[in-house]
Homo-oligomer: A and B are copies of this chain.
């Protein structure tokens, strides 16, 4: 069941969620790789970057040996916008992993239970409450993503150094560069573990859709009424009053529409069959996969 605002919306597929993550991670990988390339430059151009006591050819030799690019114009150090980009790219990566982890945490809620992070054999769910299986790894990912975000601010602040360099960035970088790279690696490792062992419960997904009393198809009802000749406003009013009643009284929307003269006049059984058809609602859910496949052929 697709959910917006935490509320049932229209059906989607679990595969589509995963495919969205895949694309988002691919974007992050490009960002992080570009940022690492950005900081992979060095300089050997003297105390203020003017090659005062250094032959520029020495720099070329040393950097070639180290496999580093050459900073175009250095001060005493390589410019810090490069490291700010790295820390920001790691903060975005962490925030995306936070999104995926939050999705798992939502799906593992007692009332939803459509998926769950792996449960290590012999793991105790809770010291006081033996029945619990908690998404603690995903929660840890969400928590540590905050540290990556906070560290990105440090990276921004490290850019405006004084003149040909003050050394204030150095102490800060010793904390945040090592912490952010290590944490990003750890979060990726943990999320890979979650993704590989993720438990998925299709029958619960189906049950949650069914528990929606057909409300998930209300958009299609609206379109059908408009196609039947009603103004959008009139159609909306009909759908909303029946939808709210279905929601509050927990009865199927379809049955209410059949009993509503205004709706029934425009929606015959065949139309309703077509509307309240989960497979039809998902008929285009494979489009994004087809595109990906086509791109790789």
Q: Could you tell me which A residues sit within 8 Å of B by CB distance?
A: 1-13, 16, 19-20, 23-24, 27-28, 31, 38, 46-56, 72-76, 79, 81-82, 84-85, 88-89, 91-92, 95-96, 98-99, 101-103, 105-106, 108-112, 124-126, 128-136, 139-140, 142-147, 149-154, 156-173, 175-176, 179, 208, 211-212, 215, 218-220, 222-223, 236, 239-240, 243-244, 246-247, 253, 281-282, 284-285, 287-288, 291-292
Contacts and interface: CB of A to CB of B under 8 A. Distances in A.
Given A48-B4, A52-B10, A168-B143, A130 B236 contact: yes
Counting from the closest, the 9 A-B pairs by CB-CB distance are A2-B48, A131-B243, A51-B284, A95-B159, A5-B134, A150-B150, A143-B168, A20-B73, A111-B111
Given A24-B79, A287-B56, A103 B159 contact: no
Nearest to A246: B131
A162 B82 CA distance: 27
Contacts of A51: 284-285, 287
Number of copies: 4
6 contacts: A16-B50, A23-B73, A102-B160, A105-B166, A131-B218, A152-B152
Contact of A99 (B131, B133, B145, B159): B159
Given A13-B50, A27-B81, A149-B154, A142 B168 contact: yes
A129 B218 contact: yes
Contacts of A161: 99
